[in-house]
């Protein structure tokens, strides 16, 4: 059974190193660990790669539609491969509600103010799909748009790198055992990371 792994971000060099592109970084790391390379795919408006895992084939996708229009790319990829969002889709995004170093998996839920998730839910007509949030810290006094489109501070970067590695491990767990298994194993670690930061 094919799985679709989607990391959200914004295309272009001006956004490459920004907090809002944590999902793209995760896709890049998954591609590296699976020894595959992303290439442009016009069919679903993104960059994609196929890879084999012990649990079956997966497709990696970085929508090139900009964050607010991510749903167009995701729905086209699901349609092209005849996949079911509830069963076959995992979306990874940045989250200002989580501290750097933490991740949080859910089997479904609201967009929580994230424009990429909101567009996916609007295009799919459902919020029932797995998602993994990577913490980027709260913006504090900085306007949210400026914060998410800014670069990580030196003290944040190693924590985010660690969280992305954790999200890659959680992805392997989701592919092999499903979202419940992944939540049971990795949300516990996310709670530990939050306590350590607090």
The DSSP result for 82-123, as a single string, is T--HHHHEEEEEEETTS-TT-EEEESS---TT-HHHHHHHHH
Tokens (6 digits) for 136? 């980027």
Catalytic residue among 20, 37, 114, 127: 20
Please tell me the distance from the alpha carbon of residue 105 to that of residue 183, in angstroms, as a whole number: 6
Distances (CA, A) of 173 to 54, 71, 168, 176: 11, 25, 9, 5
49 sits in which H/E element = strand 46-53
Per the annotation, the verdict on 20 as an active-site residue is yes
Catalytic residues: 20
């Amino acid at each position: 059974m094919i799985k679709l792994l989607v990391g959200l971000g914004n295309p272009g060099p001006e956004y490459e190193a920004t907090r809002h592109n944590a999902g793209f970084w995760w896709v890049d790391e998954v591609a590296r660990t699976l020894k595959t390379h992303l290439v442009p795919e016009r069919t679903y408006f993104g960059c994609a790669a196929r890879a084999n895992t012990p649990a079956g084939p997966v497709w990696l996708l970085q929508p090139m539609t900009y964050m607010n229009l991510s749903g167009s790319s995701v729905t086209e990829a699901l349609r092209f491969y005849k996949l079911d969002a509830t069963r076959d889709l995992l979306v990874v995004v940045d989250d200002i509600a989580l501290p750097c170093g933490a991740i949080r998996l859910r089997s479904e839920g609201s967009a929580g103010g994230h424009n990429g998730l909101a567009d996916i839910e609007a295009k799919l007509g459902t919020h029932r799909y797995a998602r993994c949030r990577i913490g980027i810290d709260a913006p504090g006094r900085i306007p949210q748009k400026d914060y998410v489109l800014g670069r990580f501070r030196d003290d944040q970067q190693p924590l985010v790198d660690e969280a992305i590695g954790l999200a890659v491990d959680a992805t392997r767990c989701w592919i092999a055992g499903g979202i419940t298994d992944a939540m049971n194993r990795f949300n516990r670690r996310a709670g530990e990371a939050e306590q350590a930061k607090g």
